[in-house]
């Protein structure tokens, strides 16, 4: 099985025994609601279910002081008044006689999960735990957190499995200052956190939660804080933060393991966060992280206090971990701070299909309208197609492509790969058939000797991205070309800063990715692109490859579309200045129309 789910009913035992409006939201139903929803969705059964052990005191000692661990051991024998008095010594904490047991199970769950992933029993997984961990410190409980589950798991992965680089992504709406303190001078753990901050006026009210806290000493540059100074951040903001901030840093860091401090108080409906991100967003974030570290992603529950939002978000994370497609993001794809700025630039949308049939016989070529000037090309699409059809193999390929396309558009399969001769002609047919069948909008990502069909309607229903164009050019907001990036760094910038922002902003119903002849992409790059293009259209991707007979590319792409992690990109190499210039130029040309391209500042 691919995904582990670690849970133990005992972790529902701890609960608040007195009145405390601040702490009452952290209750046992958080776990039972999330688990019930996983069961109802048939997701729990698809996971390898692991029952956690209690972490040993030596394991707690990887992060916490012996005195603090002893103090916690002692809480098991305290009465309610004593527990209340001790709780009062910490900020936003309550203890229960079962707290020590629960908290050791929570750490143990994170450790079991990391062991299962690093020993290869599963690819990834989720630990559903209470109490949460990311606020807890070497000798202090804080913010409902007792032991720092994720920090201990990171130290364990280093010590027991010899890992050198671990990425911790903290998408909880609070700053995990506990994790930051533990790793602030350690370059082997890269800590990323976004959090509600409001210029320091939101709990835990710390100066060091701001963006200028970047780590210390050798760890300088290995803490990344993204404070939100307003509430109401939504899908576009979270996605933009991943594409423009986290992922560029994370790819360069090249982690061997990704730990997620998976709090869902950053989701819509949560009383703590007051944010707007919908549950699917967490599926997309999970999908994005799975292209790192060979897909070794371990998510550990932190906060999340709106039971319905929490449960739905947990389901989306598990769906993404299982490799299922994630529903497309809803809401406007405009990062928050830009609301009210600019507009759509007067681009005219025209409706209307270009051909009205869809069947395996459909040639996909629009019959010329009387009176309209015919295509003025040496080789119009129909001619190219007929030339391709002159070969038997091409005819078979056309049937194959159309069959796959129909399967995708009818929802029988989510994605497909076809090897084909004459990829340009096939793309032409596939594009026209999808637009006339079920797809409102189709994203074409073309690599290698594939010109945009010149007679294609410029009606905003097709977004054409040519990432092996002759030059960087935005011929229209829906026709963008970019020279093939020369290095891994340049390729990543192109995908993260251009292709995906456009792709998500366009909200396609289908993605056509086409690798034409002499496309020149390295296999890991092509695989990464395919993996990331699963996001924008809810997994509906058709890849057409015109490949050498000996190439393994189609097989790799098929696995990636299935949800497997793409192969490693190899050593990172910085983008050459001309590639960076090209991207900046395109951003300048396009950001008025495509808000997902906007970033705060080039620096």
What is the per-residue binding string for Zn ion in 294-333, x denoting contact by CB under 5 A? ---------x------------------------------
Q: Is 417 helix (H, G, I), strand (E, B) or coil?
A: strand
Q: Whole-number minimum distance, CB 587 to ligand X5A, in Å?
A: 35
> How wide is the angle at C-alpha 255 spanned by C-alphas 249 and 256, nearest 5°?
170
What is the number of other CB atoms lying within 10 angstroms of the CB of residue 100?
22
Task: Yes or no: say if 193 and 266 are a contact pair by the CB < 8 Å rule.
Answer: no
- Which one from 96, 135, 244, 306 is the annotated catalytic residue? 135
Strand order in the sheet with 473-476: 415-419, 541-545, 510-515, 442-447, 462-466, 479-481, 473-476
Nearest to 9 by CA among 126, 149, 129, 131: 129
Judged by CB under 6 A, the residue of 10, 22, 523, 591 near ligand X5A is 22
Cα separation, 170 vs 96, in Å, equals 26
> Binding pattern to Zn ion, positions 168-187, x when CB under 5 A?
----x-x-------------
Q: In the complex with ligand X5A, which residue's Cβ is closer, 118 or 168?
A: 168
Q: Which of 44, 59, 170, 172 binds ligand X5A (CB under 6 A)?
A: 172
Whole-angstrom Cα distance, residue 301 to residue 428? 46
Closest CB to ligand X5A belongs to which residue? Answer: 303
Rule CB under 5 A: say whether 130 interacts with Zn ion.
no
Number of residues binding to Zn ion, judged by CB under 5 A: 5
Q: How far is CA 79 from CA 71, 76, 84, 95, in A?
A: 14, 9, 9, 10
Contact 147, 64 (CB under 8 A): yes
Q: Are 6 and 109 in contact (CB under 8 A)?
A: yes
| Residue 125 contacts ligand X5A per CB under 6 A | no
Q: Min. distance of Cβ 348 from Zn ion in angstroms?
A: 45
Dihedral pair phi/psi, residue 49, rounded to 5°:
-90, 120
Residue 170 touching ligand X5A (CB under 6 A):
no
Distance CA 230, CA 409 (A): 39
Site membership for ligand X5A, residue 303 (CB under 6 A): yes
Secondary structure class of 502 (helix, strand, coil) = helix
Does 263 contact Zn ion by CB under 5 A? yes
Q: Among residue numbers 78 through 97, which ones bind ligand X5A (CB under 6 A)?
A: 92
| Catalytic residue flag (residue 135) | yes
Q: Residue from 143, 255, 364, 448 that binds ligand X5A (CB under 6 A)?
A: 143
Q: Which range touches ligand X5A (CB under 6 A), out of 137-145, 156-164, 568-576, 579-587?
A: 137-145
Q: Binding residue for ligand X5A (CB under 6 A) from 302, 455, 466, 564?
A: 302
Binding test (CB under 6 A) with ligand X5A, winner from 219, 263, 536, 538: 263
Residue 271 tokens read as: 């009383």
- In sequence order, the β-bridge partners of residue 192 are 169, 224
Binding mask 33-72 for Zn ion (x = CB under 5 A): ----------------------------------------
Task: Give the burial string for 31-57 (b: 16+ CB within 10 Å, else e).
Answer: bebbbebbeebebbebbeebebebbee
By the rule CB under 5 A, 265 interacts with Zn ion:
yes
Residue 378: count of CB within 10 angstroms of its CB:
6
Q: How far is the CB of 305 from ligand X5A (least distance, A)?
A: 7
Among 10, 15, 203, 386, binds ligand X5A (CB under 6 A): 203
> Site size for ligand X5A, by CB under 6 A?
14
CA dihedral 564→565→568→573, nearest 10 degrees, is: 130
At 493, list the tokens. Answer: 């910038």
Q: Going by DSSP bridges, is the β-strand pair 473-476/479-481 parallel, antiparallel, or unpaired?
A: antiparallel
Closest approach, Cβ 265 to Zn ion, in A, equals 4
The phi and psi torsions of 189 (rounded to 5 degrees) equal: -125, 115
Work out which of 108, 125, 132, 501 binds ligand X5A, going by CB under 6 A. 132
Interaction between residue 265 and ligand X5A (CB under 6 A): yes
Q: Which does 540 bind (CB under 5 to 8 A by kind): ligand X5A, Zn ion, none?
A: none
The DSSP code sequence of 528-588 is: HHHHHTTTTTTT-EEEEE---TT--HHHHHHHHHTTPPPPP--S--PPPHHHHHHHHHHHH
| Choice between 132 and 323, CB closer to Zn ion | 132
Among the listed residues 7, 95, 144, 222, the single contact to ligand X5A using CB under 6 A? 144
- Is the Cβ of residue 202 or residue 478 nearer to Zn ion in the bound state? 202
Q: Nearest-CB residue to Zn ion?
A: 303
Which of the listed partners (Zn ion, ligand X5A, none) does 144 bind, with a CB threshold of 5 to 8 Å by partner kind?
Answer: ligand X5A
Among ligand X5A, Zn ion, none, what does residue 83 contact (CB within 5–8 Å per kind)?
A: none
Q: Name which of 16 and 456 has its Cβ closer to ligand X5A.
A: 16
The residues binding Zn ion (CB under 5 A) are: 172, 174, 263, 265, 303
Active site residues: 135
The residues binding ligand X5A (CB under 6 A) are: 22, 92, 132, 135, 143-145, 172, 174, 203, 263, 265, 302-303
């Amino acid at each position: 099985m691919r995904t582990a789910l670690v849970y133990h009913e005992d972790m529902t035992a701890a609960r608040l025994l007195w009145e405390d409006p601040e702490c009452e939201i952290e209750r046992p139903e958080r776990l039972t609601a999330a688990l019930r929803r996983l069961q109802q969705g048939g997701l729990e059964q698809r996971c390898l279910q692991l029952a956690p052990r209690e972490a040993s005191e030596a394991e707690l000692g990887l992060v916490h002081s012996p005195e603090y661990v002893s103090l916690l051991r002692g809480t098991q024998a305290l009465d309610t008044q004593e527990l209340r008095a001790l709780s009062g010594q910490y900020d936003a904490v309550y203890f229960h006689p079962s707290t020590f047991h629960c908290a050791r199970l929570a750490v143990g769950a994170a450790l079991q999960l990391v062991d299962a992933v690093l020993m290869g029993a599963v690819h990834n997984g989720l630990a559903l735990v209470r109490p949460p961990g990311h606020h807890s410190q070497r000798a202090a409980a804080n913010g409902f957190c007792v032991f720092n589950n994720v920090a201990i798991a990171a130290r364990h992965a280093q010590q027991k499995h010899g890992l050198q680089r671990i990425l911790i992504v903290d998408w909880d709406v609070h700053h995990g200052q506990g994790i930051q303190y533990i790793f602030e001078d350690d370059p082997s753990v890269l800590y990323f956190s976004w959090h509600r901050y409001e210029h320091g006026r939101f709990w835990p009210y710390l100066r060091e939660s701001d963006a200028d806290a970047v780590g210390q000493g050798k760890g300088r540059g290995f803490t990344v804080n993204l404070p939100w100074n307003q509430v109401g951040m939504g899908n576009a903001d979270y996605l933009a933060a991943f594409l423009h901030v986290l992922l560029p840093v994370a790819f360069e860091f090249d982690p061997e393991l990704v730990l997620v401090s998976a709090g869902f108080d950053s989701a819509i409906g949560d009383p703590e966060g007051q944010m707007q991100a919908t549950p699917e967003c967490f599926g997309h974030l999970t999908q994005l992280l799975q292209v790192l570290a060979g897909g070794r992603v371990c998510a550990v529950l932190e906060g999340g206090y709106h039971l319905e939002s929490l449960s739905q978000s947990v389901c989306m994370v598990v769906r993404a971990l299982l490799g299922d497609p994630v529903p497309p993001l809803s809401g406007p794809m405009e990062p928050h701070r830009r609301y009210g700025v600019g507009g759509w630039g007067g681009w005219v949308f025209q409706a209307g299909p270009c051909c009205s049939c869809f069947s395996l016989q459909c040639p996909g070529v629009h019959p010329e309208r009387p009176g309209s000037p015919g295509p003025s090309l040496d080789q119009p699409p129909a001619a190219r197609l007929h030339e391709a059809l002159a070969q038997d193999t091409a005819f078979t390929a056309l049937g194959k492509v159309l069959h796959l396309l129909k399967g995708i558009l009818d929802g029988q399969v989510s994605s497909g790969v076809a090897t084909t001769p004459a990829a340009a002609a096939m793309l032409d047919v596939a594009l026209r058939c999808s637009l006339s069948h079920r797809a409102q909008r189709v994203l074409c990502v073309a690599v290698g000797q594939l010109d945009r069909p010149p007679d294609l309607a410029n009606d905003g229903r097709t977004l054409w991205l040519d990432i092996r164009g002759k030059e960087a050019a935005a011929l229209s907001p829906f026709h963008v070309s970019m020279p093939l990036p020369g290095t891994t760094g340049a390729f990543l910038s192109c995908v993260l800063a251009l292709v995906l922002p456009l792709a998500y902003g366009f909200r396609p119903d289908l993605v056509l990715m086409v690798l034409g002849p002499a496309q020149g992409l390295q296999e890991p790059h092509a695989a990464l692109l395919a993996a990331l293009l699963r996001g924008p259209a809810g997994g509906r991707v058709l890849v057409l490859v015109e490949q050498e007979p000996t190439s393994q590319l189609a097989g790799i792409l098929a696995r990636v579309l299935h949800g497997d992690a793409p192969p490693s990109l190899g050593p990172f190499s910085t983008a050459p200045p001309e590639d960076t210039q090209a991207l900046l130029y395109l951003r300048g040309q396009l950001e008025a129309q495509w808000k997902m391209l906007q970033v705060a500042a080039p620096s």
